[in-house]
Amino acid sequence: MSETFLDKAYAVQGADAVRKLYDDWAAGYDADLDETGYATPRRVAAVLRAEMADPAAPVLDFGCGTGLSGAALAAAGFTTIDGVDVSDGMLDQARAKALYRNVDLIGEADSLTDRAGCYAGIVAIGVIGPGGAPADVIERLWAILPSGGRFAVSFNDHTLRDPAFVARLEACVANGAGRILVREHGDHLRGRGIGATVFVLAKS
Ligand SMILES: C[S@@+](CC[C@H](N)C(=O)[O-])C[C@H]1O[C@@H](n2cnc3c(N)ncnc32)[C@H](O)[C@@H]1O
C-alpha cells in the first residue's frame, strides 16, 4: 500500500521538505482530513471563543493551511481573521474560501515582528510539532501577542511525546508573564485514534 500524505506528514523533516509536502498535498488535504475526522480546529475555536470577549477582534491563524482552521474560527463567531503559512499551495486553497481578511505567504523563520500587537488572539492549529513548525515558533508568536491577548495552540499525541513543546508553553507564562487558561486533551484525528491537547494562554 502506498504511503499517504498523512503518513508522510508525521515523518517529514526540514523546512523545505515540509513546504513541498504541503504544496503537493494542498488539493487533496481537505478531503483527506475530512475522511479522517479532523476534530482539532473546532475544539480550538470553541475554547478560544469562550476566552475572548470580542469576536470581532483580529485573530492570526498561524499555519492556516487550506483554511480548515479559519473555517472553524469563523463558525465559532470570529469575524476578522488573517492567515499566514509557508506553503503557497495551501494558501491558494485558503484564498479560494474567502474566509480571511488577509492571507500571506511567510518564510519559516519569519519573526512576524511587523505584526506585534496587531492580534488579540493567535492560533496555531495542527501546526507545531514533528513534521511541522519548530518549537521556537511558540516564543515568536508569544512575543508578538499584546498584553491581554490569547494564544491558542494544539499539540497532537506525537508532539506531546516530546515534553519540550509543553515546557516551552509553560516557560512563556512563568513568573507571572501569563496564565494557562485551558489545557484539554481530546480527539485530533478520530479515524486514526490520535488525540491532541488544546491550550489557551493569556498574556499578562
Ligand atoms: C497540518 S497543516 C494545518 C493547517 C490548518 N491549520 C488546519 O488546521 O487545517 C500544517 C500547516 O502548517 C504549515 N507550516 C509548517 N511549518 C510552518 C512554519 N514554520 N510556519 C508557518 N506555517 C508552517 C504547513 O504549510 C501546513 O499548511
Residue 1: pLDDT over 50: no
CA torsion sign for 42, 48, 53, 55 is negative
pLDDT, tens digit, 9 for 90 and up, residues 31-63: 999 999 999 999 999 999 999 999 999 999 999
Is residue 81 lining ligand 1, measured as CB closer than 6 Å? no
Candidate from 6, 86, 115, 122 with most ligand 1 atoms within 8 A of CB, to mutate: 86
- Is the Cβ–Cβ distance between 149 and 119 less than 8 Å? yes
- Is the Cβ–Cβ distance between 186 and 196 less than 8 Å? yes
The pLDDT of residue 129 = 95
In sequence order, the 6+-apart residues with CB closer than 8 A to the CB of 150 are 48, 51, 52, 120, 121, 122, 181, 200, 201, 202, 203
**What cell was used for 93?**
486553497
pLDDT, tens digit, 9 for 90 and up, residues 100-135: 999 999 999 999 999 999 999 999 999 999 989 999
Cα of 170 to ligand 1 centre, how many Å?
22
Instruction: Compute the mean pLDDT over every residue in the chain, rounded to the nearest whole number.
Output: 97
Please give the class, per CATH, of domain 5-203. Answer: alpha beta
Percent of the chain predicted with pLDDT > 90: 97
- Is the Cβ–Cβ distance between 194 and 126 less than 8 Å? no
pLDDT, tens digit, 9 for 90 and up, residues 132-174: 999 999 999 999 999 999 999 999 999 999 999 999 999 999 9
Cα of 62 to ligand 1 centre, how many Å?
7
Is residue 82 lining ligand 1, measured as CB closer than 6 Å? no
pTM to 2 decimal places = 0.98
Cα of 175 to ligand 1 centre, how many Å?
30
Is residue 47 lining ligand 1, measured as CB closer than 6 Å? no
Is residue 152 lining ligand 1, measured as CB closer than 6 Å? no
Domain ranges of the chain: 5-203
- Is the Cβ–Cβ distance between 123 and 40 less than 8 Å? no
Cα of 66 to ligand 1 centre, how many Å?
9
